[in-house]
Structures are given as C-alpha cells and as structure tokens.
Amino acid sequence: MAGQRDKLASFSDEQMPSMSLMSLSDELTCSICLSIFDNPVTTPCGHNFCLSCLEMTWVATQLVELGFDCPQCRQHYQTKPDLKKNTVLCSVVETFYKSTKGHSASTTPSSMAPRVDPVSTPKPVLCDTCMVQRAAKTCLTCMASYCESHIVPHRESPAFLGHQLTEPLTDLKDRICQQHYKNMEFFCKDHCCCICSHCLPSHKTCNFETMEMARAEKEREFRNIIVLLNAHSEKFSSVISEMNSLEKSIKDCADKKKSAIKAEFRSIKDILEKEENIALHVVDKEEIGAHNRLRSLMQKMSNSYESLNNYKAVVENVLQQTENISFLQTKADLPEAMKISPYAPKINIDSKPLLMQMSTAAALRNFLSQLMSQPLEKRGQLLTSAFKEPPALNVSEPSGNLPVQLPIVFQPPLSFGPILSFPPQPLVSPGKTHPDAHKKPAQTKQKQRKNPDQKPAEPKEAKKSASAKKQPPKEPVCAPSSELPKGCPPTTRHELLQYSSTLTLDFKTAHRRISLSENCTTASISDDQLAYPESPARFSVCSQILCTKGFSQGRHYWEVKLSCSNFCAIGIAYNSIDRKGASSKLGRNKESWCVEWFNVRVSAWHNNQEVVLPSISPSRVGVFLDCEESSVTFYNIADRATPIHKFNCQFQESIYPAFWLFSNGSKITLCKLAA
C-alpha cells in the first residue's frame, strides 16, 4: 500500500488530469474510424458514430446490398433511418478537446489527438522552394507551389504577370504531361486522356475540349447516374415494401384457409357424431324392446310357476286327508298353467334398422378408406363424379356405333340392396305358392275381359290382315308405372320359373356389330362390322337384336345373364319397330319398353320418356311378361327375385324380347331355365 501511495505521489498535478482523460477517450472513440467523435449522431438502435463515417459506410454498402445496417449491432433497416445529432456527446467531445489542449504530445496518446479525416481533409501542400512552409498558391505556368514568402515575386515582379496562379493543388504532378512537361489543359474524348497544348497536333483529328468543360460533362453524367440509382433504389424499396405486405397477406390467407379447413372437418365430425348418436339410439331402443319382451315373458313364466307350486301344495294337503269321503269328493283338475309349455325364447336385437345402421357404418368406413388411398389430386374428382348424374346417351351416328370414349363415373362402394321404385310386395317362402299361381290362364283372361271397353288380343292372322289394309292400329295408352297391381306378378323366383320360356336370338334382326354364339343364345359387341346379308328386319342404326319368338297371350318369363351390365338395355318390342331410322332406339318410341344401364345410371324408357331408377349392378336380370294383365316386370335375380321396375300397358301386337348393347365388352346370354 505504501508503495502504491508513493507511486501515485510521484505523479505531478499536471499528469493526473491526463490519466483521467485517457480513460475517457475510450468512450469517445468512433468504432468506424477509431478516432474521437466528429459531429456524432445516434442510430435508432442506440449506437453513436461520426456522421461522415456512417454516411461513407452506407454509401459503400448500398452499392452491393439492399437496405442499411448498423455497423456495430448489424440492425437492418429497409430505408435510411433518420439520424439525430447527439448534442450531449458533442458537448462532452468539445470539453474533452479543451481539456487536452496544452498537454505535450508525449503525454497525450495518439487516440486523443484531433481526428483527421483522410477523405474530407486533404494532405497539406508544401512549398516547392523551401519544402517546409505550407503552399499559398500554385503556379500553373511554373507548375510549382509557393509559400507566402516565395510567392512574392509572382505578385510583384512584372516578369510573372502572365503566370496563372491558383489555390494549392495536391495533384500538381498528375497535371504535368510526362512527354512535354506542360500543364494538361485539354481532354481528348476519343482517347479518353488528358493532354497539354503541345499534344494537340497529334490529336488534331480527335474530339477534345477543355478540362473544365470535360469536368462539367462528367459531373452531369455522374449526377444522372445518381438519379438512376436513386430511382432504381426507390423501386427496390417499393418492391420490398410490397413483398412485406404480400408476406402479411399470405399469412392472413393461410390463417383463413386453416380456419375453413377446420370448419369443414368439424362439420364432418358433427355429421358423423350425429349419425353415431342415432345408431346408438337405435341400439338402445332395440335393447329396451328386447328387455321388455323378455321381462313380459319372464313374468308370465313366473306366474305359471307360482300357480303350479300353489296347486302342488293344495294337492299335497289333499293327500294328507284321512277321511275317505272328503278325499274322494275332491276334484283333481289340472291348473291352466299346465297348458303352457315352458320355453326359453330366442330374443335378439338384430332388427332391420340396426343391421342397416351397422352396414351403413361399415360401407362408409370402406368408402373413406378407398377414397383416402387415392392420390390427393383425384379425391375431389372422385367425390364430385360419385354423386353426379352421367350425361344422356347419344348414339345418333349413322353407323350405329357409339363413340369410343365413354364417360366413366366413379361409383362409391355403398351397397345396401336395391331401392325399389315401387312398394315391394311381401315375399312368400319358397315352400309356399302364391294364391294367383294356381289360377288358370283362362280364368285370368276371363277376369281381364270383364271390362267391356277392353278389346281381346287379336290373333296374328287378323293383325297381318289389318296391316295389309293399311289401317293404323289404335295407339296404346302406355306409361311407365311404379305401382304393382295386387296379385301380379308372382313374388318369388320359384313362382316365376313356372312360366319360363326357351328363347333364341334372331339372326335376321342382329346389327352387324353384334356377334352371336352358343346356338344364338349369346350376343356380344364385335370390334368390326360383320358381313351379314342384307335383310329388311336387320337393325342398321343401333346395335340391337330381337328374339325369334314373340308372345301375344299368356304369361312368360325369361332370364338374361349379363357379363357387363354397365352399357346395355334389356326390354321388349313389337315386331313392327323401326329398324333403319333414328326412332329405332329401344325405349325411344311407342313400340318398345326397356330398362337401361349406362355406367352407374339406371333408367326405365318408353316412348322417349325416362324414369331414373336406383343404381344397381345385377349379374342376372329376369323379365316377366303378362299379356293378360298387359304388364312387364323386370327383376334383379340374386338370392331372391327383387323387382326393379314394372310397365303397365295395353299391348296391340305380339311382344318380342329385345336387347341393346352399347359398347365393347357388353355381353348378354339367354339362360336355360327349368320350372
């Protein structure tokens, strides 16, 4: 401690302020030039710099970068920030300079010396005569600089009156022509160099001008460059601002999209939860009903059991009587409970609504699984086409060929059985027969003729005679109907098979694209037209065919096997149906009736009127023709015969089975039936 006090005491009073100022100078140093602040300013991030240093730094970086950065903390600014003069720091710097004035250079560190900016303060020009004093003037004639003492002859002597004096020049050596040692007063534009008056003869064909004019032109050029740079910089600044706004709008748009997606999936969840609650309510309802039935039966069994026990006790008391007369007079009738046969009921909750709910949930799960397994870009298209009706069939080509490109519509894998277009009749078990099945055709015919306004079916000879006399037949009153008359048609396939008929396809009516096989019981579409002979009965517009056998009375039933039920039509037609014109299409005239499958669209057609039916894809279709009732019914043949559609008409001619195949791959086969 004593040594430190002695060391501090050894410093003079003049040296103590120097040491405190040395420590203060570190805080007053610019981090760019490492000198004491000169006109200090403060950035928005709170750092201090010399105004000239900061401006020079930003000018250099602005040529290669976008924006402005703080040299110390690298804070980025899109536009040039507003710099404020730090008045407090300026006062401290001024006080610092006053305090350090008078101290020797040996005791003052180099960092405390006044700041000298090499750019703003040029290096002093010395006199070329004494090489000590600062030059006061530069003579462009002598090409030398002189101080105040040595410039006196130029000012006073008449010999130097023609010499041109100017302010001291630091680039005097650069102004001297290295060839002629004269002042370069001109600028050659062609060679882009400065020349003196002695160089003019060698540049007499060049375009030259004075240095002042060249400088003025160069200044204009640089000012134009600055204007262009400012304009381009403003464009960059505007684009950056626009991009910042776009970034914000993208974020807002993304937030809205997220909200919309969440809302959609929330709606889906609500729908599924609602359906789940409905299904669970069905289960609860079935459970309550089953419990009620079981409790009712248990109560009945318990009452019977108690009655039997009570009667058993009465009988046991009778057996204990000792008097014969009283014993013999007692009746031994059994109670009513003995008439009840005890059994354990088979009660379950597998009702039709519950099974439908379970099948719906399973089918929906399968549908969603198959949908989600598809690529994302196809899901929307599949969902849209799954519930969109396909366009109407267009087969108006003269050759009867369909367009090669057919619309393919996605069908969701939801199958809950056919939804009939009319109320289905109660089905009869296979072991029983329908009441109308035992009716004789004559009785049915007599029943039909009870209506005096209805004419009996005419024989074929009478029809041909009427046709020969060119008397147009009476127009039948026909319309697609969805109501099934009571008692007709039969309700089981077993009953339908009692009216089975053996059919073959008529080669004479086959369109040239229809190929026949298996003894004219199978028809398919050929890629090329076949060389069939000309026949007035042959269809020439649509790929259709009739059967050889027609029906004018009685009941008849046949079945058709479909290898591809997406593009075909099954129906009936008069033999007088048009074969050559556009009206020959099955179901598009008054002479034919059909059920048509076009992709997933199922329709019933007659007289160019369409009835859209529920979408089904059967592998076998049954047709029941009842000439007595003037009706035809189409069935989906699977485990049982399910009606698809029924037409009620008054037939005026014999009815022929008819078929229409739309495209390649369609194939129909007449089935052999056994009653």
Dihedral pair phi/psi, residue 312, rounded to 5°: -60, -40
The span from the CA of 594 to the CA of 248, in Å, is: 62
Q: pTM of the full predicted structure? A: 0.34
- Confidence band (pLDDT; 50, 70, 90) for 449? very low
Long-range contacts of 466-471, Cβ-Cβ distance < 8 Å, separation of 24 or more: 467/576
- Confidence band (pLDDT; 50, 70, 90) for 158? confident
Indicate whether 154 pLDDT > 50: yes
pLDDT, tens only, 537-565: 999 989 999 999 999 999 999 999 998 65
pLDDT, tens only, 403-445: 333 333 334 443 333 333 333 333 333 333 343 434 444 444 4
pLDDT, tens only, 485-518: 444 558 788 889 999 999 999 999 999 999 999 9
CATH superfamily, region 11-112: Zinc/RING finger domain, C3HC4 (zinc finger) (3.30.40.10)
Predicted pLDDT of residue 20: 55
The span from the CA of 179 to the CA of 182, in Å, is: 8
Residues with Cβ within 8 Å of residue 132, at least 6 apart in sequence: 126, 147
- Asked if residues 410 and 371 have their Cβ atoms less than 8 Å apart, the reply is no
Predicted pLDDT of residue 318: 85
The span from the CA of 656 to the CA of 537, in Å, is: 13
Instruction: Identify which has the larger pLDDT, 469 or 161.
Output: 161
Strands lying side by side in the sheet with 165-166: 144-146, 137-139, 165-166
Q: Mind giving me the DSSP string for 6-60?
A: HHHHTS-TTHHHHHHHHHHHTTTB-TTT-SB-SSEEE-TTS-EEEHHHHHHHHHH
| Bridge partner residues of 36 (DSSP) | 29
- Confidence band (pLDDT; 50, 70, 90) for 349? confident
- Asked if residues 211 and 186 have their Cβ atoms less than 8 Å apart, the reply is yes
Dihedral sign (CA 588, 589, 592, 593): positive
Rank 19-33, 238-252, 359-373, 409-423 by mean pLDDT and report only the highest: 238-252
Residue with tokens 């009996």: 456
The span from the CA of 234 to the CA of 439, in Å, is: 100
- Asked if residues 205 and 195 have their Cβ atoms less than 8 Å apart, the reply is no
Indicate whether 120 pLDDT > 60: no
Average pLDDT over residues 107-134: 61
Q: Which of 546, 544, 555, 565 is nearest to 638 (CA)?
A: 565
Predicted pLDDT of residue 634: 94
Q: Which of 192, 190, 191, 185 is nearest to 211 (CA)?
A: 185
Q: What is the 3-state composition of the chain as percent helix, strand, coil, each rounded to the nearest 5?
A: 35, 20, 45
Identity of residue 633: T
Residue with tokens 């110390």: 72
The span from the CA of 175 to the CA of 144, in Å, is: 11
Predicted pLDDT of residue 428: 36
- Asked if residues 592 and 574 have their Cβ atoms less than 8 Å apart, the reply is yes
Fold: same for 11-112 and 476-670: no
The separation between CA 244 and the C-alpha centre of its own chain, rounded to angstroms, equals: 28
The span from the CA of 68 to the CA of 647, in Å, is: 86
- Asked if residues 661 and 562 have their Cβ atoms less than 8 Å apart, the reply is no
Predicted pLDDT of residue 256: 93
Indicate whether 470 pLDDT > 50: no
Token pair belonging to 667: 């194939």
Predicted pLDDT of residue 62: 61
Average pLDDT over residues 99-114: 47
565 to 409, 460, 664: CA distances (angstroms)? 14, 34, 12
**Segments of 161-304 assigned E as strands:** 165-166, 186-188, 193-195, 208-210
- Asked if residues 622 and 645 have their Cβ atoms less than 8 Å apart, the reply is no
Indicate whether 142 pLDDT > 70: yes
Q: How many CB atoms lie within 10 A of CB 376?
A: 7
- Confidence band (pLDDT; 50, 70, 90) for 613? very high
Indicate whether 235 pLDDT > 50: yes
By CB atoms closer than 10 A (0-12, 13-18, 19+), residue 13 is exposed
Token pair belonging to 233: 């910089």
The separation between CA 647 and the C-alpha centre of its own chain, rounded to angstroms, equals: 44
Q: What is the β-pairing status of strands 631-637 and 567-574?
A: unpaired
Q: Going by CATH, does the domain composed of 476-670 fall within 3.40.50.300?
A: no
- Confidence band (pLDDT; 50, 70, 90) for 331? confident
pLDDT, tens only, 61-100: 665 456 688 888 888 887 888 888 888 888 888 888 777 6
Domain residue ranges of the chain, discontinuous segments joined by +:
11-112, 213-349, 476-670
pLDDT, tens only, 236-254: 999 999 999 999 999 999 9
The span from the CA of 501 to the CA of 354, in Å, is: 41
Residue with tokens 């009746």: 331
